[in-house]
Amino acid sequence: MPNPSRTFWAKTTFAAGACAAALLCSAPTMASAETAKEMVIAAPFGPKSDTPDPRARQNGWLSNRAGVSETLIGIGYDMTLQPRLATAFENISELEWKISLREGVLFHDGTPVTAQAVKASFEKLSEEGHPGNNPRLVKLLNIASIELVDDKTLIFRTHSPSSAFLWSLTEPSAAVMKEGTEALPLVGTGPFVFEKAEAEKTYVVTDFADYWGGAPKLDRLVIDAISDPSVAALALQAGDVDLVTHYPEPDFAKLQDQGKGQLFSEATSRLFFFQPRLSAGPLSNKTVLNAVSLGLDRDTIVAATLAGVGGQSANGIFPASMKSWVNGDITLSYDAAKAQALLDEAGIIDSDGNGIRELDGEDIVLKLRSYEGRAALKPTLEISQIMLQQIGLGAEIAMGEFGANNEALNAGEIDMHLQAWGTAPLGDPDYFPSTLVATGGSYNVSGYSNPELDALLEKGRGLFSSEERRPVYAQVQAIINRDLPVIPLFHKTQVSVGSGKVQGYRIHPAETYLANPELAIAD
């Protein structure tokens, strides 16, 4: 697979992207084409537009990983809160949070990061029509006002108590950005400067010598979107990319057995799960819903789709490695015989002998859908189809687009959407259930609503001690396992393979970060 970005770079010498072209910032003097340090990374997803503002939709994740944008607070590799653009943060009341900014931080146009600039950046989140408008994040942060104390200090006030507020500031979409120009459309603070993007294809950045954390070792970083991991693996073998972040698990297992390759592996909080439609259709029947969960052999799914290297069966929404919050007393068992017995006892039987049980006189044929971009999704869908058929439930499967699948689930056109989410991308237990299963949650498209769960989530957000919050979220996890508004399958281990020359790369357990000043390519 030829790489046009790499070919262009090999033939051309240029300064740090549009930033230097505009003569606005003190960008580094780039090395000659022969000595320039470039890395090309294959990732499953690309930018959503040619100028993807990190504050909008999910753009922040790619921008954050590419080292263009930064948040006030970060999450460490131990999943604790870490200083980033802010060096200190303090809860001064139930509604107030004092944030102190780091000294000496520059935007990519060379201007300093001030409290006023931070306030202006956050205000764009709620400005309709602005490229950074993000109603989901506005709801998550729930900011009532931002007070400027001095040039380096702000006080954020929330509409209601939120113990997860600091964690919410780690959301990549909560990036601190300055308004762009034609020459420099995205003005962030990270170790790399945005050069260009092509929707769904590529994202290119160059080094920022004045980065507060030290000048990057790379001159240029290219992230190419290759949704098929097998194609990405071939690109690595051909020398067109230096690193594949999501390598095919069976191929990774072979390399591991052979003792070959530059291998990286790390357990993450990413959960593969079904989101069922509960407001109507077959899965609004509690017996059918329970039978579906009982009929899915999670251990077999992991073994078959992940080759024993890519994940662990789920007993709930949080992985066992999330020790601070996981409820270790709950399980999700596989018991096909019990599933069939439940259906039989409820009179949901195959009366015409065609192999499919009926509900209200109609064959139960569940419509299952997933999307491309994560290798394990399609085989998980295929295996789930077989397992459901074994307990007498018909299943039709198809691959679609993530957003379209959610719309289809909400409209009743499909019955389950197989997805893969980081359950603790912000390090806090509130994000996932509040987003997916709370009444009115931004991605609650299944029709699930439970006042008991909503009350617990509200209570958890109003408690500021981990000791007090822990039993609340343990109960939330137990209710989710009971009501199954999401059906957890397994937690993913990310496996990556490098060319043998990759340095400074480390997989973050929340998959939040990638590019950093130490990322390098050996000679």
d(CA 377, CA 423) in angstroms, rounded, equals 17
With respect to residue 259, please indicate whether it lies within any of the assigned structural domains. Answer: no
Q: Tokens at residue 36, please?
A: 């320039």
With respect to residue 440, please indicate whether it lies within any of the assigned structural domains. Answer: yes
Of all residues in the chain, the percent with pLDDT exceeding 90 is 83
Tens-digit pLDDT profile for residues 421-438 = 989 888 889 999 999 999
Q: Are residues 143 and 277 located together in one domain of the fold? A: no
| 3-class SS of residue 55 | coil
Q: Are residues 484 and 509 located together in one domain of the fold? A: no
With respect to residue 247, please indicate whether it lies within any of the assigned structural domains. Answer: no
**CATH code for the domain of 98:** 3.40.190.10
Identify the sign of the CA torsion 314, 316, 317, 322. Answer: negative
Query: Domain total for the chain?
Result: 2
With respect to residue 250, please indicate whether it lies within any of the assigned structural domains. Answer: no
With respect to residue 261, please indicate whether it lies within any of the assigned structural domains. Answer: no
Residue 76 has what DSSP assignment?
-
d(CA 59, CA 469) in angstroms, rounded, equals 31
Sheet (strand 143-150) strand order: 86-93, 96-101, 153-158, 143-150
Backbone angles phi and psi of 5, in degrees to 5:
-65, -45
pLDDT bucket at 80, cuts 50 / 70 / 90: confident
With respect to residue 257, please indicate whether it lies within any of the assigned structural domains. Answer: no
Closest CA to 107 of 221, 19, 48: 19
Q: Tokens at residue 469, please?
A: 């919050």
pLDDT value of residue 427: 83
Closest CA to 393 of 367, 419, 428: 367
Closest CA to 286 of 272, 296, 276: 276
Tens-digit pLDDT profile for residues 382-433 = 999 999 999 999 999 999 999 999 999 999 999 999 999 989 888 889 999 9
Q: Are residues 283 and 141 located together in one domain of the fold? A: no
Q: Are residues 378 and 423 located together in one domain of the fold? A: yes
> How far, CA to CA in Å, does 441 sit from each of 89, 425, 431?
28, 16, 10
Q: Are residues 70 and 54 located together in one domain of the fold? A: yes
With respect to residue 256, please indicate whether it lies within any of the assigned structural domains. Answer: no
Q: Are residues 69 and 182 located together in one domain of the fold? A: yes
Q: Are residues 289 and 229 located together in one domain of the fold? A: no
Q: Are residues 365 and 291 located together in one domain of the fold? A: yes
Q: Are residues 316 and 187 located together in one domain of the fold? A: no
Q: Are residues 300 and 435 located together in one domain of the fold? A: yes
**CB of 177 within 8 A of CB of 188?**
yes
**CATH code for the domain of 480:** 3.10.105.10
pLDDT bucket at 34, cuts 50 / 70 / 90: low
Rounded (10°) angle between helices 451-461 and 466-483: 160
DSSP string covering 292-349: HHHT--HHHHHHHHHTTTSEEE-SSSS-TT-TTT--TT------HHHHHHHHHHTT--
pTM tops 0.85, yes or no: no
Q: Tokens at residue 45, please?
A: 């997803």
Residue 50 has what DSSP assignment?
S
Of all residues in the chain, the percent with pLDDT exceeding 70 is 93
Q: Are residues 365 and 415 located together in one domain of the fold? A: yes
With respect to residue 254, please indicate whether it lies within any of the assigned structural domains. Answer: no
* Containing structural domain, residue 222: 4-242+499-521
pLDDT at residue 311 tops 50 = yes
Q: Are residues 204 and 292 located together in one domain of the fold? A: no
